[in-house]
Structure 1
Amino acid sequence: MHYDMNRYSSRLFVCTLGFLFLLGVRISRAQEAPPPNNVGTLSLQECISIAQDQSAVANAARYALVASKWQYESFQSDLLPSLSLSGDAPGYNKSIFSNVLDNGQVTFSSRTQSEASASLAVSQNILPTGGRLSLSSGVTRLGIFSNENTYLWQSTPLVVGLNQPLFQFNNLKWQNRTEPLRYEIAQKQFVEEMEEIAQTVTQQFFDVYLAKINLENARFNVARNDSIYQISQGRYNVGSIAENDLLQSELALRNAESSLTSAQIEYERALNDFKILLGYSTDVSLELEQPEKLPEISVDISKAKELALNNNSESLLYRLNEIQADRNLAQARSEAGFAATLNANFGLNQTSEQFSDLYTDPQNRQFVTVGFEVPIFNWGKQRAQVNAARNQQREVANSIQFQRRQFVQQVEYTVSQFLQLRGQALIAAQADTIAQRRYDVAQNRYLIGKIDITNLFIAQEEKDSARRAYIRALRTFWTGWYNLRALTLYDFDKKQPITYQL
């Protein structure tokens, strides 16, 4: 009995240890994993990645790129052979028609028949000439219903056809120049939109962080001004300060409390707007990490201009507009002159009452037609269209030349400005440290009665202002960094082009 009790106690002890171990594991896991509605603390780069992955703006940019991709594939299909099947389902026709006999007498006869056909064709566009080559094969059945039903068959085992415009505008050839460029522009615009999302997230990230700093300063000022007010009351009671100083400290406390309420409202508004930008609902809880340290990035202005001219979609749009102006001029010239179309067909055909004899000893079938159009007199319409297209081409060329120079100037200004932003942010950081130390010194001097309350409040305001200026300097630096990336589509920190996957 004593042995059973010991064994029972041992088992109970082991089970208790196991239960406590499992409970500890679950508690630790619950502490490690944030709740479903708590995203946790996010850095600037994490916020950018989240917005680029799940925000509505990023998804819209992806759909736009996918649509451009399908449009480009649709054009590429025009350069490949196509296979088509056409035909007529069996049709039924019963009618009465007039018939003139050999003696001149007119009689009326009835006719009942049906007809069905099917044709299979392979066609290929000819890119250099703008023509179209085709191969086809078909069969037709004619049924005549009278006292004895009769069926006639006709076959075209093989027909080679050519449709070739002569001295006409070759739209396919120009599309072969513009469509690949359009798709390249769409790809560049997608990367630029991702970088623009990074700029927007950066701006709102620091807006939220600045609102958070203002809220922390407001709470600190309420607590500190409350202490100063209590100290001022004590000094006023013993007659060491005037009533004006007491009222000034009380007014500072009330203003600090009002500023705290405003700062709380502004922080919640900025944070909710930021959550929506990231693709979250406003009931999600998240915190922002302190901004990252400033990287040391060197940018060569000449290289930045070269990258922008080669990579930026705006620069590629200049090239597309030039090609389209040349295309319009070529089209106007071709439409103003002689135009003709050559249609040629050569093949085999055969007719038979028996389907089994339909492909026996087929006969030649060929025809050639040439249609043409020559403008003789139209009151100078073609000449006016050509002159209009020529002057539009010159307008586009001069406008693009001016826009390209402006674009290069913008790149130079952006790089020059960015190279100064890091130094300005470092100076703002030093000013923030100095202002904080000055406030600590002023506070200690006020406590021992060396300075009045006015100088203390001045030091407090300068401390808060220097802190805000530092956050704004960081905001300007990081916004400028992503603006430079969007212009050049190049990461100067990692020394590689910027790419994004769908």
Structure 2
Amino acid sequence: MKKTLLYIVLASVLFMGETQAQQTATDALLARRLTLQETIDLALGSSIASKQAATNKTSSYWQYRTFKADYKPQVTLSGTLPDFSRSIIPVIQPDGTTDFRAVSLSNSDVGVSISQAVGLTGGQLFLTSQSQRFDDFNQGIRRYNSFPAIIGFRQPIFGYNALAWNRKVEPLRFQESERQFLEDRETIATVATQRFFDVLLEQVNYEMATKNVENNQALFKIAEEKHRLGRLSRNELLQLKLSLMNAQMAKAQASTELKTVAMQFAAYVGLPKGEKVAVQSPTVVPELQVEEQVALEQAQRNRKERFQFERKVLQAQQQVAEAKGKGGFNADLYATFGLTKSASNFSESYARPENQQQVILGFSVPLVDWGRQKASVKTAQANLQLTQYTVEQEQTAFEQSVYTQVNQIELLKARLQLTSSADSIAQERYDITKATFLVGRISITDLNIALQEKDQARRAYITALQDYWIAYYRLRALTLYDFELGKSLTP
């Protein structure tokens, strides 16, 4: 009885330092400790993925600004300063003969024009002011020709109006890019969560391996004493020694794997190269009550698909309009009214100018195209129909993905509760089994089974925790809605 008490006391002393030794070993390996929220904030602020998302957003913004600029007045300064030429040209004389004369000429012009696109009709209004100068250096002639103001209008008739279609499509594309940026951020948070729990799981593996080594060392010392007293067979002693060696190898392997995932984690979230890092297991799990219909409504309201589906159909309709407009009867109206004056000096060319008008109506009608225009239209119409079917299918798949994610949240919530209870039970069972083994009532095999079940239960809990948090951020990315706070993630 006294020997049994001695074994128990010795084991208690050896196991008292387990937690402290475990923390010391981990801290020696890893320095900076991050929570899950700190990890996500780092990834959103410093990671390459976050910079790529921000760059894509900026690019989309300037593309939209380019589209908007097409509908604003454009001011252009143009000119030729100078256009000089010196050559010998044939000149017909009054008697019908041809003489070759040297000529030195210079033509210069400068003008300012203001144009405004008319999105409703696809035409263009413009206002131009221009001045021209002509010099003949051989004869000493200088002339000016000025156009103080010319107002005009270009208008395609029965043609394809790209401006009107772009006004419908481009705002949708811009809204898509805005929502895509928010979705990218939630995706980054999801990946950061995955990397976080990868490190946490390897940390737990390393801590369990360290603890198992310490446990096996303590058990082996006790077993040596029991073997010396004849209370333990050599076979059981060797089995314990083998367990100790396996535990030491498992610890070395866990250490290597932990270093690998920690480096990958640090690289993703944007930590300085070489900085050691550790993570802290979340102590609070979001209590989500998610209704399928609410999740679907939020997804349809907030996600880029809201604009993407409409844009795809509009672009297919745009292709039909383009095929019809560019292949059949086309006409262009060009009309101007302005003032002009020629004079030998610049100031006189602007005095009392005369008016001028010009009206041009040009058209083109394909007489024989061997069904080319019809085939082009039919192809565009078939593509429109295919796009409508595809969008309908994508809408159904999108709704199904929302329902699936909501149901997965509920399943993972139940799984997390079960694995948490199993983890506590397995730990308690191992403690009881270990104490029972110390008094010699069970074999080393039973102790090893209890140890394996304890470690498996702990890993299962961490994996369930990981899956739940990843599903939580995937749901946020899928709906752009924070169900924990009850608010949309869109502006």
TM-score (norm 1): 0.89
Match of 1:475 in 2: 466
Q: For residues 272-291 of structure 1, what are the alpha-carbon distances to aligned partners after superposition, in whole Å with 9 as ceiling and x for unaligned? A: 11010111234213321221
Q: For residues 243-302 of structure 1, what are the alpha-carbon distances to aligned partners after superposition, in whole Å with 9 as ceiling and x for unaligned? A: 221221111111101101000001111111101011123421332122131121222211
Match of 1:343 among 310, 324, 334: 334
SS across alignment from 1:159? strand
Please give the alpha-carbon distance, in whole angstroms, between the structure 1 residues aligned to 2:40 and 2:105: 73
Please give the alpha-carbon distance, in whole angstroms, between the structure 2 residues aligned to 1:181 and 1:42: 39
Residue 137 of structure 2 corresponds to residue 137 of structure 1:
no
1:489, 1:498 within 8 Å by CA — same for their partners in 2?
yes
| Number of aligned positions between the proteins | 462
Match of 1:78 among 63, 70, 84: 70
Match of 2:46 among 51, 54, 59: 54
Q: For residues 210-259 of structure 1, what are the alpha-carbon distances to aligned partners after superposition, in whole Å with 9 as ceiling and x for unaligned? A: 10111111011111111111222222233323222122111111110110
Match of 2:442 among 427, 451, 459: 451
SS across alignment from 1:372? strand
Matches within 5 A, 1:90-109: 90-109=82-101
Residue 228 of structure 2 corresponds to residue 237 of structure 1:
yes
2:302, 2:490 within 8 Å by CA — same for their partners in 1?
no
Match of 2:175 in 1: 184
Match of 2:357 in 1: 366
Q: CA deviation at 1:315?
A: 4.4
Q: For residues 439-462 of structure 1, what are the alpha-carbon distances to aligned partners after superposition, in whole Å with 9 as ceiling and x for unaligned? A: 111111111122221111111111
2:79, 2:108 within 8 Å by CA — same for their partners in 1?
yes
- The one-letter code matched in structure 2 to 1:155 is S
Please give the alpha-carbon distance, in whole angstroms, between the structure 1 residues aligned to 2:438 and 2:464: 33
- The one-letter code matched in structure 1 to 2:296 is K
2:57, 2:177 within 8 Å by CA — same for their partners in 1?
yes
Please give the alpha-carbon distance, in whole angstroms, between the structure 1 residues aligned to 2:34 and 2:472: 20
TM-score (norm 2): 0.91
1:310, 1:316 within 8 Å by CA — same for their partners in 2?
no
Residue 482 of structure 2 corresponds to residue 464 of structure 1:
no
Q: For residues 132-186 of structure 1, what are the alpha-carbon distances to aligned partners after superposition, in whole Å with 9 as ceiling and x for unaligned? A: 1100101111112235x22111110000111111111111111111111111111
Please give the alpha-carbon distance, in whole angstroms, between the structure 1 residues aligned to 2:300 and 2:379: 30
Match of 2:16 in 1: none
Residue 185 of structure 2 corresponds to residue 214 of structure 1:
no
Please give the alpha-carbon distance, in whole angstroms, between the structure 2 residues aligned to 1:241 and 1:41: 44
2:151, 2:336 within 8 Å by CA — same for their partners in 1?
yes
Q: Unpaired runs of 5+ in structure 1?
A: 1-37
Please give the alpha-carbon distance, in whole angstroms, between the structure 2 residues aligned to 1:209 and 1:156: 78
% same residue? 35
SS across alignment from 2:350? coil
Q: CA deviation at 1:39?
A: 7.3
Please give the alpha-carbon distance, in whole angstroms, between the structure 1 residues aligned to 2:63 and 2:142: 47
SS across alignment from 1:214? helix
Please give the alpha-carbon distance, in whole angstroms, between the structure 1 residues aligned to 2:466 and 2:238: 38
Match of 2:37 in 1: 45
Q: Unpaired runs of 5+ in structure 2?
A: 1-29
Q: CA deviation at 1:361?
A: 1.1
Which 4+ stretches in 1 moved above 6 angstroms? none
Q: CA deviation at 1:499?
A: 4.8
- The one-letter code matched in structure 2 to 1:154 is N
Match of 2:413 among 422, 428, 443: 422
Please give the alpha-carbon distance, in whole angstroms, between the structure 2 residues aligned to 1:447 and 1:106: 128
Q: CA RMSD in A?
A: 1.5
Q: For residues 31-53 of structure 1, what are the alpha-carbon distances to aligned partners after superposition, in whole Å with 9 as ceiling and x for unaligned? A: xxxxxxx9732110011000110
1:315, 1:404 within 8 Å by CA — same for their partners in 2?
no
Match of 1:124 among 96, 107, 116: 116
